Amino acid sequence: MLFANPQLAIWAFFLSVIPLIIVYLLKPKAKDVLIPSVMFIAQIAEKQKKIARAIRKIIKDPLFLIQLLILILLILAIASPYNEERTEIRGGHTIIILDGSASMQAGDRNDYAIKLAGEHLTARNSIILAKNIPVLALHNGDLDAARDVLKDLPRTATTADLYQAILLGSAMLTDGKGGIVVISDFANWEGEDPNVAKKLAEADGIYVSFVSVSGGRNDIAITGGWLSDGMTMAGQGKYTCIIKNYMDSPVNAAIDVLYGGDRSTHNLLLGARESEYFALNDIGVGVTEIIVHPDDDMMVDNHAYIVIPASETHAVLYISDYEDAPSATVMRLLPSVDATFMTQGEARSTNVHDYDAVVVGLCNGSLKSSLCDRLADYASSGGKVVVMAQEGLPFSDTGRLLPIALFEKANETAIKEVRESVMLRDIDVSDIAIGHYLTGEEKSGSVEWVLAEDGTPIISFWSVGLGKVVYLGIPDITGDHAWNDFHTMPEYPIFWLNLIDYLCGTGGVENCNKQTGYTMQFDSKVRATTPDGRVIRTNNLLLDQTGVYEIPGKLVSVNLYDAAESNLGGSGITATETAGTSTEKTVRTTTKKEFDWVLLILALVLICTELYYIRSRGEL
């Protein structure tokens, strides 16, 4: 017998068994007392028993023995005992591609697919979960590692790009040895026909097997949904969804709407194979869930979720000597911004900690070192700062404030976006004409969003303590001395709206309601809780489950909304099985056979026995 966690078991022994023995040694013992017929109690004649006699008494106590056995069994279970068994399995490297689409949640398709995957495992295995983006779950693992991964795979609800998954698997078999097993319902897929990828792999000498799973039915589904245009806060718009009946007979669908602790029920008559609209007015702040009945074998598309964030107004301090600058005008017009305008001199006596964000616009001369130090301290405590490029900035003592070390003013350059960001969404920075800019180099720890041709950061940021500082190298100087034309573009107000929302932690209704398959990007790793309760840390969050995600500062609802994926009949595939076989020889390998669960069951039986014994003694 071998143990996976012997050191942990040793610690558990000293922290449990030893204290139990000590407790029984110190436990008060019953004493015989002589009571004569007189009305007083005689003095006890016996002296305290010796330790050796006490130990013999403990050993004779059944309760002590039961408790000791319970602890020993639990300690052994903690040690994770296992035996190694020699088994013969097919050699070579097998790529298992599992369909991660929503249709695989119908009936027992997903469970059966995992069972089939286990039957195709070989000496070396890689597992790819085919979502809209193929995800490598295991690379070149042994039999035990593959089984562990298959056991813990989450259920996902995206579309499946089987074509790209097969190409990824083919690229992993660089020597052309091994095979690919694709396990899917082949009801629907994204991208190219997987048969094309199969033929490409076989042309390279890689055998590909398509294994089909089926089962379950989908009677009704929510195949689309949207919030009314311009809806920015609760009570100002409505939600509309499309409900489709996949049955061959009409149905009077029951629709439950859950909001807070309230539930309301509506009815909608659907003809055979028909779709109808269902609308909700005045959506409240928070999470609203819609459930369509009758229930079927694919409930993932019977639910829809809506998240309406609380309406917030951000207090922004705008420091500039030019109140008519385009950015200042935008600050006055943004409905989510309560802007206060001050000059650099006026800001010296202002408590910047009273504001959610500080924007440093165009100022005469250089920035005062005292202001830069105060803004750096403000950012360190969690504040958000935006500093705009200007003539005097290279001569300012910015200290630890800016994410860039500035050199001098330069003429004309092309710029490009090197990292996606929410504030530049739907903005093509290559269309911005740059006449002047400040050259410089990034500081260690900074993140660049937009770069000039010479590598100078044009838009970048870094974290200062708990806050962030953004350098905006596209100032809004107007007239004949303008450095660029960004402030004349219609996207300019949208840029500032997105920037303030990004810094202050809100994203509006649109960013709180997404469809499965969408990827949320963050500047650094964040802690996110998925709808099934898993907690992950990532800077690229693929929304692959329906429900509500919890990320720092907000909730995000995710829905399937895919009529093709909900249609379990699908378009099918021309071939669901391939007769190719592997030429790899059979090899002998060692596998683990764990039996800690047996020890846990025995411990549970003894705990029940202990309770029964205590009850029989009248102590419970």
What CATH number is associated with residue 408? Answer: 3.40.50.880
Q: Considering the domain boundaries, does residue 523 fall inside one?
A: no
Output the pLDDT for position 59: 55
Q: Considering the domain boundaries, does residue 6 fall inside one?
A: yes
Percent of the chain with pLDDT over 90: 60
Domain count along the chain: 3
Residues 579 and 605 placed together within one structural domain of the fold = no
The H-assigned helical ranges of 381-491 are none
Mean pLDDT of 275-304: 94
233-245 per-position pLDDT tens digit = 445 568 999 999 9
Residues 328 and 432 placed together within one structural domain of the fold = yes
Phi-psi region of 537 (alpha: psi -120 to 50; beta: other; left: phi over 0): beta
Residues 97 and 181 placed together within one structural domain of the fold = yes
Mean pLDDT of 448-477: 95
Output the pLDDT for position 358: 97
The closest of 146, 20, 19 to 90, measured between CA atoms, is 146
Q: Considering the domain boundaries, does residue 126 fall inside one?
A: yes
Q: Considering the domain boundaries, does residue 416 fall inside one?
A: yes
Which of residues 504, 519, 545 is at a domain's end? 504
Q: Considering the domain boundaries, does residue 407 fall inside one?
A: yes
Residues 395 and 426 placed together within one structural domain of the fold = yes
Which of 81-85, 246-250, 306-310, 423-427 has the lowest average pLDDT? 81-85
Q: Considering the domain boundaries, does residue 550 fall inside one?
A: no
Residues 332 and 436 placed together within one structural domain of the fold = yes
Mean pLDDT of 156-173: 95
Residue 466 has pLDDT above 90, yes or no: no
Residues 145 and 198 placed together within one structural domain of the fold = yes
Q: Name which residue leads in pLDDT, 148 or 77.
A: 148
Residues 520 and 541 sit within 8 Å (Cβ to Cβ): yes
Which of 87-91, 137-141, 255-259 has the lowest average pLDDT? 87-91
Output the pLDDT for position 123: 85
CB-neighbour burial class of residue 299 (10 A; exposed 0-12, middle 13-18, buried 19+):
middle
Mean pLDDT of 120-137: 94
Output the pLDDT for position 87: 59
Mean pLDDT of 544-568: 93
Output the pLDDT for position 16: 78
358-367 per-position pLDDT tens digit = 999 999 988 9
Mean pLDDT of 463-482: 93
Mean pLDDT of 249-267: 95
Mean pLDDT of 42-55: 49
Q: Name which residue leads in pLDDT, 404 or 608.
A: 404
Range with the largest mean pLDDT of 55-64, 210-219, 585-594: 210-219
Distance CA 401, CA 378 (A): 10
Residues 346 and 457 placed together within one structural domain of the fold = yes
Mean pLDDT of 386-391: 96
Sign of the alpha-carbon torsion through 347, 348, 350, 355: positive
Residue 45 has pLDDT above 50, yes or no: no
Tally Cβ neighbours within 10 Å of residue 475.
24
Residues 578 and 601 placed together within one structural domain of the fold = no
Mean pLDDT of 73-82: 81
Domain of residue 36: give its range: 2-83+596-616
Mean pLDDT of 273-279: 95
Which of residues 504, 530, 552 is at a domain's end? 504
CB-neighbour burial class of residue 466 (10 A; exposed 0-12, middle 13-18, buried 19+):
exposed
Residue in this structure with the two tokens 């495992």, named with its chain if needed: 121
Output the pLDDT for position 84: 64
Output the pLDDT for position 426: 81
Position 479: which residue type?
G
Query: Measured between alpha carbons, how far is residue 306 from residues 226, 238, 285, 432 in Å?
Result: 9, 11, 10, 37
DSSP per residue over 414-439, as a string? -EEE-S--GGGTT--GGGS-EEEEEE
Residues 478 and 604 placed together within one structural domain of the fold = no
Which of 1-10, 12-21, 176-185, 576-585 has the lowest average pLDDT? 576-585
Provide the 3-class DSSP secondary structure of residue 39.
coil
Write down the mean pLDDT value for the chain: 86
Residue 61 has pLDDT above 60, yes or no: yes
Mean pLDDT of 339-364: 93
Provide the 3-class DSSP secondary structure of residue 95.
strand
What Rg value do the Cα atoms of the chain yield, rounded?
34
Output the pLDDT for position 101: 95
CB-neighbour burial class of residue 7 (10 A; exposed 0-12, middle 13-18, buried 19+):
exposed
Tally Cβ neighbours within 10 Å of residue 542.
17
The reported pTM is 0.70
Residues 140 and 76 placed together within one structural domain of the fold = no
Which of 70-74, 263-267, 575-579 has the lowest average pLDDT? 575-579
Position 156: which residue type?
T
Provide the 3-class DSSP secondary structure of residue 295.
coil
Mean pLDDT of 583-600: 65
Output the pLDDT for position 578: 43
Residues 115 and 155 placed together within one structural domain of the fold = yes
Output the pLDDT for position 21: 72
Residues 204 and 124 placed together within one structural domain of the fold = yes
Q: Considering the domain boundaries, does residue 25 fall inside one?
A: yes
Which of 144-153, 169-178, 384-393, 439-448 has the lowest average pLDDT? 169-178
Q: Considering the domain boundaries, does residue 513 fall inside one?
A: no
Tokens of 180: 């690919």
Residues 6+ apart with CB under 8 A from 244: 220, 221, 222, 223, 270, 274, 275, 563, 566
Percent of the chain with pLDDT over 70: 85
pLDDT band of 581, cuts 50, 70, 90 = very low
pLDDT band of 610, cuts 50, 70, 90 = confident
Mean pLDDT of 139-168: 94
Beta bridge partners of 318: 341, 359
Range with the largest mean pLDDT of 83-92, 269-278, 510-519, 594-603: 269-278
Output the pLDDT for position 348: 85
Residues 6+ apart with CB under 8 A from 518: 542, 543, 558
Tally Cβ neighbours within 10 Å of residue 329.
14
Sign of the alpha-carbon torsion through 148, 154, 155, 156: negative
